[in-house]
Structure 1
Amino acid sequence: MLRSQVSAAPLRTRADAPWLVVAALLGATALPAQQPATGAVSGRVTGEDGGGIQAATISVSGTLLGATTRSDGTYRLALRPGRYELRARLIGYAVARDSVTVTAGGNATVNFRLERAASTLEAVAVTGSRTEARTVIESPVPVDVLSAAEIRSTGRVETAQILQQLAPSVNFPRATISDGTDHVRPATLRGLGADQVLVLVNGKRRHTSALVNVNSSIGRGQAAVDLNAIPASMIERIEVLRDGAAAQYGSDAIAGVVNIILKSSGVGEFSATAGRTQTTYAREFNADRKATDGGTVQLSLNGGVNRAQNAFLHGGVEFRDRDATNRTLGDPRPQSFAEVASNTTRTNLTGPINHRQGDAATTDLVGFLNGAYGLANGVELFAFGGVSRRDGEAAGFFRRAQDDRTVRSLYPNGFLPLITSRIWDVSTTAGARTTFGGWRTELSTVFGGNSFRYDIENSNNASMGNASPTEFYAGTLIDRQSTTNLDFSREFQPQAVRAVRTAAGAEFRMDWYEIQEGEPDSYRDGDVRVIGANGQPTTTRAAPGAQVFPGFRPTDATSQSRNNVAVYADVETDVTDRFLVAVAGRFENYSDFGSTTNGKVSSRFTLAPGYVLRGAASTGFRAPSLQQSFYSATATNFVNVNGNLTPFEIKTFPVSSQQARVLGASDLTPEKSVNLSAGLAMEPVRNLSLTVDAYQIDIDDRIVLSENFTGAAVAALLQPFGATGGRYFTNAIDTRTRGLDVVANYGLNLQAAGFARFTAGFARNYTVVQRVDSTPPALRSQQEALFGRVERSRIEEGQPRTNVLLSGTYDLRNFGLVARTQRFGEVTTRTALTAAGVPSAPDQTFGAKWITDVSASLRILSRVTLVVGADNVLDVYPDENSDRRNSTAANSGNANFGIFPYNQFSPFGFNGRYVYGRVTIGL
């Protein structure tokens, strides 16, 4: 468990200090109240047929206050005495408004009747403004709102996959044979890095995964938030702010913000989903392999209670089990010394299936709670959090029997090494909010942590020979974060302008990062020589450490921390009824690299009713993560030197280490950005909405993982440190990203024949590397590249530059249909250059593909809903690796001698058709 892996001392001192502040505030609420008593507003929200509508949002204009309707459409909201405008909203319905006067101790009644409408722009969002909840069309920056109904309409069970399926600006590639990245796969926004999007839960900063991605996958060199540790069954809605927001929310928000809002109603449900792939792959080369794998089971149960004074408690638990998928072909190579001697050859159709390329097997158990309680003196207490455990299993490359990395007495037929993981993720938030002297005040603290334990199975340490174990503990990565915020907001009504809304606050954050070493056998050199074809030892040194993932060494182990303090302010004013201007500023000081100041200006102008022109300009930053500053690991790579395979100890060095300094490393500095955006939001007719937003994001000093530095000169530089090669993180490049986002919604009320809603989305982004640091002087004479064409291609061409999403829903009383098709644009992979300046393997561009999903639902017995569906119903696959034709060549690039028909850069993976069924029972 995470608790057992973390030193107790920091948790009892610095991490617990914010909790003491909150405890003091909560304790103060028990004192006699000196403020006026509250009143209440209650009522019911109904549809056109008079039935209650569940999960509608009741918001108080000009504030962040609100409530959610129960299963029968009722709600209750505690407010201080005064006059308020209430708005009732639900995606698929037109907004309804009414005014109410609240008196001390009184209970006013306001009922709403919602009419069917199309506009997603009418969805309410809190992300992007600290002072007022707004509909999307009222926001000066683009925001997508994905409702619980839309989340349930997909066949996906992972939050990150659901997000990609519903938001065209989100990408979620399926890494495979990429070590820990197979278990925690990163998502991206607007084609930028996985760590350049900030994730919030209920508006509070979410901690990142302990894993830093160091293999050849999208997100290389980055540590991202594990979205799948947040159960989809507990999500009320997801708000995606597609604009730079570091001046408002701090580090990481360069590409935008994903704010996950947890369920808060008293409604509950039980849901069970089961599915698996039914597919045929490798058709291009007439292999026509059939597969039925990747079986998925999801069970979820959640529910809650709502009481007076705006009190609620909602909790849930979710279980997910996903079997591995495999889309490999046969291995045509000789498997043993005898087959080498007899020159045995096969094809990919007749060779043994000894690899695994596809989804890792994972089992998740997650629990979450979300609650609040309003006291009579006007103080509201709130808390939420959760804990999850994931057990994963992913494979590496198969080691053949005649391979020097195989202990043949243990594996006479070779072996497929496995990385098994145990990932714990915990988070808890507590706070209080009240009104004091006219200011809406909130104090909160968040503590979260993630641990990633590496275990290696079905493996060996070849340097130990026959004495080698077959299972190893390879070490644990740990990341923890504590964030405390004190926020103030207030609306003023000066005579010169319509309204001025202000917000200000301060933040204190602590970060900890830890690497725990593995057991000695997972990394040590046992000094046993390779056994030759005649069964006798050779003079060749065997590779040390566990195959597939050598353990973290004592020299890798570390425990690091830092803190930062921030102050921020937001001011926005309605200059006129049609013109809004907002200004935000933030100052932060970090204990490791110093301070940074950022600002943002945004504006919205109503050209005419239903037509809004909007735009924003901001500066931003992303602080180097502790993972990037201090990650350290060692692996043995064998390089052909004068015809001999020579082992090189390739180590990822912390930038502050002497080894990294010898190779030219310097301290990491923050990434700095300038974001510009302009757009138009319109509702030209009653049931049609359209937004068009263009943007440009310039990022200086982006942090990347350097190329591997090897060779005689490098070995000489590192000889005093016992290493022969290395790499490190560096602020090596500047990039510019330009893009365009278009979202359209149309609804058609067919009266007795039902209701149809259509959505179209288009996202285009184009990233160009504009500057690359020169190779450090110590390596320049050796032609070692700091940032090569492989990594450049991954940033510029490794994610789709275009994404088109078309969807339609149809509802007729208890029956529903959903059809969705998505076009993922092309991606390109490039290979490193040889000494002669030519690609070492073929470059390839993988063409655009349309992926279509369909589902049908039927509600029976009023509370039971049955769903059947198929994702990728047409069984579409990405283009196959072109170098599969050279499957017997010594250098076969991505195809690995034709064994791997598909490339992991595919934005939609390569699992094929997935069929599923689901039953949901309302409680």
Structure 2
Amino acid sequence: MKKILYLSIFLMSIVASSQIKITGVIKDEANNSLPGASIMEKGTSNGTSSDLDGKFTLEVRSSNSIIVISFIGFESQEITVANTINFSIILKETNVLDEIVLVGSRTPARSNTKTPLPIDILPSKDITNTGQSSFDQVLQYKVPSFNVVNIPVSDATSLFDPYEIRNLGPSRTLILINGKRKNLSALAYTYGIAGRGETGADISAIPIDAIKRVEILRDGASAHYGSDAIAGVVNIILKDNYNKGSVTTRTGVTSEGDGELLGFSLNNGESINNGKGFLNYTVDFSKSNRANRPGLVNALGEATDFGANITDVQEFLSRHPDAGNVNATPKTISTKFLLNGGYELSEKGSLYFNAAYVYKAANSFANYRTPYWRTLADYPYLGDFFPAPGTPNNYDGYIPTFDGILNDYNASIGFKGQKNEWNYDVSYTIGGNLQKYTVRNSHNGNSVLSPSTWVDANNNGIVDAGELTQGFELYRENSPITFDVGGTKFTHGVGNIDVSRIVSDKLSIAFGTEFRFENFEVIAGELASYDGGGSDSFAGSRPENSKTFNRYNWGGYLDVSYNATENFLLNGTIRTETYSDFGNAFVWKLSSRYNFTDNFTLRGSVSTGFRAPTLHQIYSQKLQYSFVAGQGIQVTGLINNISPEAKLLEIPQLSAEKSTNFTLGIGAKLNKDFQFTIDYYNIGIKDRVILSYEISGTAFDANGANIGTTDLDAFLRDQNLQGISFFINGLDTRTSGLDVVFNYKNIAIHNGTLALNLSGNYVLENKQVGATKTPQLIADAGQTVVNKTQESVLFTSRPETKWILGANYTLGKFGATLNNTYFGKATFHQQGLSNDIRTEFIPKIITDLGINYKFTDKIVVSLNINNLLNITPEWNFKAENAAGQALLNDPVQTLTQSNLITFNQRYSTTTYDGFHFSQFGTMYNLSLNYQF
């Protein structure tokens, strides 16, 4: 028996000693690593897959073994081991090759045409060719389902514009950097525009020259990535080259000679330890000045709104036709730094890291306080605060300014490798966004007295005549004119463990976990900024509303991808999440793809999703100044979800949104140059979190005092508020539409090549489903959390369709791009507008032209003319019924309604609520790029 055992051990040792350990790296013809490629020993089940750097290690039986290397979209190779132990393998693309994508599945990467999900790929060249100065504007003019709002009055929003995919708000689009979650902005929008009540990551802070490519998943992905991925995912892949770099200088100006832009960017790399590691870094500095487009103010509307003498109004407007308003892009200075790196620790393991820091300072303006709005009769000291010699009473009004400072940072460090054919990735990510604000050229006009003092001169214990001294005015004539109004801060820490394996040529699996800690802080302003009502134009945060709030959550997922046949793919994912503040969530996703031929694919998915209410939405509370049509600037209160006031109003605590996503699409690649995709999507959201519109009293006297008799009126009087707003799971919604992408490249024209692309988004429906969930006390007062204004914010204020037709022509050293973006009809019903009419924005086409010339192999000069034809937004009134048509037939009534929504024509181009493309017309941008 012992002899048999010894013999077995001896034979096994011979077999083991005959095995050969081979290593290698797999790349494409452009020298890009191919992660997830299959390496199999022919005739056996022995195999492995390449890691995220394209590297692999495998033990084969002998030098006669043949290894088979395959990857979707590439031609397979068979290689005899012979005496080679280290391989460098280049795979050639097939005629149906498309980009390799990392987003959309946790199993190893696959080619874009083979994914069961709609994904847009934007390479670095396409991003820089737009000539846009910020990343959010790049996406606006490259991705039809992506929209961003330009608003005319900035305040805190001068630091961050709301964006969204598929009309669902920034809170429902997850932003990743190299596959890791980016932190949210500290700002929650409270303006009555698209994006109201939302928050999102500040993608404008990402330096464009640091981006290698962008992957945009247009599908629900909560099962893969957790909260915030109901509408889709934007994955920003950073540059990782270390053997070349570039310096870019850029300048720009509008056709009106304002909005000057100056910028400098450096992108470079360094090798570490003879190529074992790399560093790629980007430094970006930019400065942009104001571009101002005020409207001509209507005197009759002014006199009516402010109860002013028409003669006084006309006299002021004769000197200041725009009423002194500055309707402008903010003056902005920004500094951006980003570092991306990695280091090979062993044959099967590597370290990676990235870090970014952004500093941004913006200066914007509030509405000009005219001398008939803030009068000397009400504030006699204003002539001393804001003297204007040579004008009536040496006072001509004033304009408060708003200075915002933003600090945004994020960093990730991780270790990825392979062990026993399992790919693993362990990482930790931190991020934060801090915004602080200063109001200048303003005042606190509220009457607040210091405490009275009593000196008992005769020690009789009684207040006698002359012993009590009344307190003095703290503000008004004693007010400062500069105020620290506080700010907000958001930070998070995210830990991830992701494991995947290609089990066979049919089966891939992945699983992982995520732990996240979030912190939201409201920073109090100085006393004068909030006391008694606070500084004019923007009140500071009160100490009782300025606290630190936090939560944590844990999540885990399992992802299985199965090729039932060579042409039929099934992908299933499940995920569970546990939040410390509202409980559990369980979601799933099933997606599939069927290749009828090598050139035609049918794909689809069905999934559930969730979105946790942000800490901003749960805890934000403050007084805010809002424009109410026909009533001017009103003081209203935003009350948070856990406040005593919320309990008095019977507002339920916020819970997670729940979604159901369905997509169905086709993809075709008729040859290597022509491809198209058409995808239908349908997204249902239950318990959608919204910020209610400003709910006011039910009855008022001639002086505007609340005389209503409901419990709501009593509440508002007790709180000394003209109105309130709050976050609530207010309604269910359904959004559906079509996404279309056509690409045709390598068209030969006069010794050059032309590439054409057409992409579009068409909204089939975007509507509320079922009844509004209004608290009973508010419903009893005949009010609702969703009025016509809120409906338009949620459902119709985005273009119902948007199309992008682009052409890119290359001839030798010369290149040109022509991009036409069609913004379809958008409708709005502003607060205070007659219920019998609506505002409708007219469809427009924005044309962008880019020309570049390569003087040498290292020097490229580019000229971009954005909005070549100087198109600006236009809108008309449309009647909802016969009464509305009668109103529009009367020029006087029509002008009154127009004054309501434009603040008496201050914002005649976009109304008070802004629009999706700029009102500032043509922009010329010139850049010089030097490569080294």
* TM-score after normalising by structure 1: 0.84
The answer as to 2:586 corresponding to 1:609 is no
Which residue in 1 is equivalent to 2:235? 259
1:358–1:910 Cα contact (<8 Å) kept: no
**1:187 and 1:102, CA in 2 relative to 1: closer, same or farther beyond 3 A?**
farther
Question: What letter corresponds to residue 861 of structure 1 in structure 2?
Answer: T
Which residue in 2 is equivalent to 1:368? 338
- Per the alignment, in what secondary structure is the counterpart of residue 80 of structure 1? strand
Q: What do residues 497-552 of structure 1 show as CA deviations (whole Å, max 9, x unaligned)? A: x4210000111111110001000111112xxxxxxxxxxxxxxxxxx311221000
- Per the alignment, in what secondary structure is the counterpart of residue 629 of structure 1? helix
The answer as to 2:835 corresponding to 1:839 is yes
Task: After TM superposition, give the deviation of residue 110 of structure 1 in Å.
Answer: 4.0
2:158–2:404 Cα contact (<8 Å) kept: no
**Equivalent residue for 2:247, pick from 254, 270, 274:** 270
Which residue in 1 is equivalent to 2:529? 522
Structure 1 residues not aligned, in runs of 5+ = 1-35, 46-52, 68-76, 90-94, 279-290, 526-543
Which residue in 2 is equivalent to 1:311? 277
**Equivalent residue for 1:466, pick from 467, 477, 490:** 477
**1:508 and 1:899, CA in 2 relative to 1: closer, same or farther beyond 3 A?**
same
Which residue in 2 is equivalent to 1:170? 146
- Per the alignment, in what secondary structure is the counterpart of residue 670 of structure 2? strand
- Per the alignment, in what secondary structure is the counterpart of residue 766 of structure 2? strand
**1:724 and 1:915, CA in 2 relative to 1: closer, same or farther beyond 3 A?**
closer
- Per the alignment, in what secondary structure is the counterpart of residue 577 of structure 2? strand
**Equivalent residue for 1:432, pick from 415, 425, 441:** 415
Task: After TM superposition, give the deviation of residue 558 of structure 1 in Å.
Answer: 1.4
**1:648 and 1:672, CA in 2 relative to 1: closer, same or farther beyond 3 A?**
same
1:157–1:298 Cα contact (<8 Å) kept: no
- Per the alignment, in what secondary structure is the counterpart of residue 516 of structure 2? strand
The answer as to 2:307 corresponding to 1:321 is no
Q: Could you tell me how far apart the structure 2 residues matched to 1:56 and 1:274 are?
A: 33
The answer as to 2:478 corresponding to 1:478 is no
The answer as to 2:165 corresponding to 1:200 is no
**1:517 and 1:108, CA in 2 relative to 1: closer, same or farther beyond 3 A?**
same
Which residue in 2 is equivalent to 1:587? 576
**Equivalent residue for 2:69, pick from 85, 90, 98:** 85
Question: What letter corresponds to residue 622 of structure 2 in structure 1?
Answer: A
1:38–1:78 Cα contact (<8 Å) kept: no
1:881–1:895 Cα contact (<8 Å) kept: no
- Per the alignment, in what secondary structure is the counterpart of residue 171 of structure 2? coil
Once the two structures are overlaid, the 10-residue window that deviates more, 221-230 or 647-656, is 647-656
Which residue in 1 is equivalent to 2:163? 187
The answer as to 2:383 corresponding to 1:385 is no
Question: What letter corresponds to residue 363 of structure 2 in structure 1?
Answer: E
**1:346 and 1:619, CA in 2 relative to 1: closer, same or farther beyond 3 A?**
same
**1:341 and 1:172, CA in 2 relative to 1: closer, same or farther beyond 3 A?**
closer
Which residue in 2 is equivalent to 1:8? none
1:669–1:731 Cα contact (<8 Å) kept: yes
Which residue in 1 is equivalent to 2:874? 879
Question: What letter corresponds to residue 108 of structure 1 in structure 2?
Answer: F
**Equivalent residue for 1:737, pick from 735, 745, 757:** 735
- Per the alignment, in what secondary structure is the counterpart of residue 344 of structure 1? helix
Which residue in 2 is equivalent to 1:856? 851
**Equivalent residue for 1:296, pick from 241, 244, 261:** 261
1:80–1:102 Cα contact (<8 Å) kept: no
Q: What do residues 718-770 of structure 1 show as CA deviations (whole Å, max 9, x unaligned)? A: 55556564221000011100110110111234288122111110111231111
Q: Could you tell me how far apart the structure 1 residues matched to 2:240 and 2:484 are?
A: 41
1:827–1:845 Cα contact (<8 Å) kept: yes
Which residue in 1 is equivalent to 2:534? 545
2:839–2:875 Cα contact (<8 Å) kept: no
1:81–1:103 Cα contact (<8 Å) kept: no
Q: What do residues 136-181 of structure 1 show as CA deviations (whole Å, max 9, x unaligned)? A: 1110000000000101111101000001111111101112214312
Which residue in 2 is equivalent to 1:133? 109
Q: Could you tell me how far apart the structure 1 residues matched to 2:118 and 2:625 are?
A: 47
1:295–1:322 Cα contact (<8 Å) kept: yes
Task: After TM superposition, give the deviation of residue 821 of structure 1 in Å.
Answer: 0.4
Q: What do residues 113-155 of structure 1 show as CA deviations (whole Å, max 9, x unaligned)? A: 889x9x8x71111101212222211100000000001011111
The answer as to 2:860 corresponding to 1:895 is no
- Per the alignment, in what secondary structure is the counterpart of residue 568 of structure 1? strand
1:182–1:394 Cα contact (<8 Å) kept: yes
C-alpha RMSD of matched pairs (Å) = 3.1
Question: What letter corresponds to residue 577 of structure 2 in structure 1?
Answer: E
Task: After TM superposition, give the deviation of residue 60 of structure 1 in Å.
Answer: 4.8
- Per the alignment, in what secondary structure is the counterpart of residue 513 of structure 2? strand
**Equivalent residue for 1:597, pick from 567, 586, 593:** 586
Structure 2 residues not aligned, in runs of 5+ = 1-19, 39-48, 60-66, 387-394, 447-474, 698-705, 878-887
Equivalent residue runs for 1:96-175 within 5 Å: 106-110=85-89, 122-175=98-151
The answer as to 2:696 corresponding to 1:717 is no
Q: What do residues 80-120 of structure 1 show as CA deviations (whole Å, max 9, x unaligned)? A: 2465737799xxxxx676566899995434457889x9x8x
The answer as to 2:757 corresponding to 1:763 is no
The answer as to 2:823 corresponding to 1:814 is no
Which residue in 2 is equivalent to 1:409? 384
Q: Could you tell me how far apart the structure 2 residues matched to 1:102 and 1:393 are?
A: 66
Which residue in 2 is equivalent to 1:921? 930
Q: Could you tell me how far apart the structure 2 residues matched to 1:474 and 1:168 are?
A: 38
- Per the alignment, in what secondary structure is the counterpart of residue 416 of structure 1? coil
Task: After TM superposition, give the deviation of residue 450 of structure 1 in Å.
Answer: 0.4
* TM-score after normalising by structure 2: 0.83
Q: Could you tell me how far apart the structure 2 residues matched to 1:373 and 1:105 are?
A: 26
Task: After TM superposition, give the deviation of residue 78 of structure 1 in Å.
Answer: 4.2
Q: Could you tell me how far apart the structure 1 residues matched to 2:608 and 2:28 are?
A: 44
Larger radius of gyration: 2
**1:616 and 1:112, CA in 2 relative to 1: closer, same or farther beyond 3 A?**
closer
Q: What do residues 468-524 of structure 1 show as CA deviations (whole Å, max 9, x unaligned)? A: 21111000200011110111111112xxxx421000011111111000100011111
Q: What do residues 351-379 of structure 1 show as CA deviations (whole Å, max 9, x unaligned)? A: 14511223222211010111111112522
**1:638 and 1:97, CA in 2 relative to 1: closer, same or farther beyond 3 A?**
closer
- Per the alignment, in what secondary structure is the counterpart of residue 892 of structure 1? helix
Question: What letter corresponds to residue 230 of structure 1 in structure 2?
Answer: I
- Per the alignment, in what secondary structure is the counterpart of residue 682 of structure 2? strand
Which residue in 1 is equivalent to 2:431? 448
Which residue in 1 is equivalent to 2:681? 695
- Aligned identity (percent) is 27
1:476–1:518 Cα contact (<8 Å) kept: yes
Task: After TM superposition, give the deviation of residue 306 of structure 1 in Å.
Answer: 4.0
Which residue in 1 is equivalent to 2:510? 503
Question: What letter corresponds to residue 546 of structure 2 in structure 1?
Answer: A
- Per the alignment, in what secondary structure is the counterpart of residue 127 of structure 2? helix
Task: After TM superposition, give the deviation of residue 885 of structure 1 in Å.
Answer: 8.1
- Per the alignment, in what secondary structure is the counterpart of residue 617 of structure 2? helix
Task: After TM superposition, give the deviation of residue 64 of structure 1 in Å.
Answer: 7.3
